[in-house]
Amino acid sequence: MDISTLCIHGAEDHTHCTGSITVPIYQAATFVHPGVGESTGYDYSRLQNPTREQVEKIVAKLENGADALAFSTGMAAVTALMELFKIGDHLIVSDDLYGGTHRLFHHISMKNGISFSFVDTSDSSEVIKHIKKETKAIYIETPTNPMMQVTDIAAISKIAKENNLLLIVDNTFLTPYFQNPIQLGADIVIHSGTKYLSGHNDTLSGFLVTRTEELSEKLRFIHKTTGAGLSPFDSWLMIRGIKTLAIRMEKQQENAILLANWLSNHPKVQSVYYVGLPTHPGYEISKKQARGFGSMISFKVDTEETAVQLLSKVKLVLYAESLGGVETLITYPMLQTHADVPKEEREAKGIDERLLRISVGIENINDLIVDLGQALG
């Protein structure tokens, strides 16, 4: 079944006598036992809920995983993931990382005795250089947020397997529609479902998808114990959002390519970071491991004043945090997504007062260009 069809029909459950084509919202906290030692398969919604189960099934199918676990937010998913590790364990992590994950690793995980090496994972030799006996996993974003660095997933998977390490891939930016890390050797795939999977900026969610049942069993124990499962209503919203994932991703990418080229030719724009541009250093790897380039663009303008002016003057484009929805959003990473990253570290990565990030939506591209044009001046 083609992935675009799977997005629409993958969560269907025809066992209900009503014939409803949508999955019901089981807004229930607990479930009746038929008798002692008997169960319907559902006991308490923290453990599992029928609506959550359906969205987990569709995400697992889309990522070709053994299982998927749905969480209340993307960060709840990453937090639960870190419970796989213990005091003294070491992880190698992409050095250009979503600010919330950076905050979790530096302020929570390190406090709990886990250590990290933050490296440029697009350079395999750097990854190899930082492996030590305490290393348990390699954690990558690709493309990274916000500098759009691309890591060769298959190459890092080979390194991970040779050293008996888990490979964890945050696939939020490209989604399973464009990229399937498990097929490239990943053991666990992360999604902030809030973003493209939902697609409408109206709910929060997160997912962990596992390659094996063994990893699923470990994570399900953590999932039920820590208690950050996705609610029934939000699970239903996710199912509804995924139905249009394919057409949204195609339209957003179409707009992003046109917008990236327009930005590249604007006199006040100095650099454009979009993996779909042939000039991007990760372009060829992206073509090899993904079916598309997505719709995330970061770019640098000539001055801080230009950046502030643009954010103040946009009308159609919305100055707001988050990404992946049908609306085009523009973000100021140094003040928003990466505000908690120390200034020296942030600027060393290029995240400064001139850097902006756009999540391109599905509006008419000419309207987006007109709006950004008048805002840039």
Q: Of 67, 89, 96, 170, which one is the catalytic site residue? A: 170
46 annotated active-site: yes
Phi-psi region of 55 (alpha: psi -120 to 50; beta: other; left: phi over 0): alpha
57 annotated active-site: no
Q: Where are the beta strands (DSSP E) in the chain?
A: 67-71, 90-94, 115-119, 135-141, 166-170, 188-192, 206-210, 269-273, 296-301, 318-319, 329-331, 355-359
Q: What's the token pair of residue 255?
A: 């707009």
Q: Of 13, 46, 302, 352, which one is the catalytic site residue? A: 46
Q: Report how far residue 303's alpha carbon sits from residue 306's, in angstroms, rounded to the nearest whole number.
A: 5
- C-alpha distances (whole Å) from 220 to each of 110, 122, 210 are 23, 31, 11
98 annotated active-site: yes
The reply to whether omega before 181 is within 30° of 0 (cis) is no
111 annotated active-site: no
Q: Of 52, 96, 98, 177, which one is the catalytic site residue? A: 98
Q: Tell me, what amino acid is at 59?
A: V
Q: Of 52, 57, 61, 195, which one is the catalytic site residue? A: 195
- Sheet with 318-319, edge to edge strand ranges: 269-273, 296-301, 355-359, 329-331, 318-319
Q: Report how far residue 209's alpha carbon sits from residue 212's, in angstroms, rounded to the nearest whole number.
A: 9
Q: Which residues participate in catalysis according to the annotation?
A: 46, 98, 170, 195
